[in-house]
Amino acid sequence: MEPGISLVSIFGACLLTVRFTAHTMKRLVFYFLMFPIVLLAQINESDTLNVKASLSITGFYQGGNVETLIFRTKTDFSFKPWKKWVFKNQNSYIYQEFGKEKADEDILSLNFLYLNPQRKIYPFVLGFISTNFRREIDLRFLFGAGATFQIINKEDHWLKFSISSEYEQTDFSETDFNYSQYDGQSSINTFRGTLWVNGNYKLFKNRMILTHESYFQPSLEEGNNFRWQADVGLEFPIWKFLNFKINYRHTFENIVIENQKQEDRFLTLGFTVKSY
């Protein structure tokens, strides 16, 4: 690591989020209207490269009878602060507006620190910070540790299972929930256990890439406090650093504010851009 740079300072820098006014975002979106949605490739922390990074910005604006504004940005970054360690950070920001009514403004920062990720089994620590406007989550933070098991680790495909335990605190802007036992609580705190599965496979002589990433995250204290997410993608290489991608993401959160839906589904078409 370079002199004067600490892991704490890097971690803090990665959590910085730039807020945009609606007017500024409309101007930014305009510049990207002619470009399709950009999606990031999965970064494998077991790779031997010292530094890997990606950035995506996507937008859509529609005027007229129904004004629609969508602005999304995402960063993916990993580096080796020490010989046997890998730090991986993923940040995303989403803003959506329909008929001049804000529908989403979400921030998510995922941070992992791995020890000896080239080994068959290796430990890690994690820290997540997020907000979710639609689910009325003012702030959610989660810290924990776990281990990853590399089932397959080859150049053209890999498959990993991870298990971890975390402490989580979620601050809500409302206190009326779909489960009455939580009514009146502005914060819900719990210890969780998480099972992660993710993989990447190059098929048909690298003409198609299948990716998947999913997790199941139950509370270790309350049986009705759980969530899960599944993300599946198909990529078709166009150029060395550019793939066309079809992506489907399905999320479920069991405890939500009263009258909110527990499931969200996203289907996107676009491109994967990477710098490694």
Q: What is the pLDDT of residues 4-55, one digit of tens each?
A: 334 333 333 333 333 334 344 444 433 333 333 333 445 666 665 678 777 6
What predicted TM-score, i.e. pTM, was given to this entire model?
0.74
Whether the predicted pLDDT of 59 surpasses 90: no
> What percentage of the chain exceeds 90 in pLDDT?
43
- The stretch 183-201 carries a mean pLDDT of 95
Q: What is the pLDDT of residues 220-245, one digit of tens each?
A: 999 999 999 998 988 888 887 777 87
Split at pLDDT 50, 70, 90, the class of 99 is confident
CA distance 189 to 143: 12
Provide the 3-class DSSP secondary structure of residue 12: helix
Domains annotated for the chain, with CATH where assigned, are 7-273 (2.40.160.40)
Burial grade of 266 (CB within 10 A; 0-12, 13-18, 19 or more): exposed
Provide the 3-class DSSP secondary structure of residue 101: strand
CA distance 55 to 40: 7
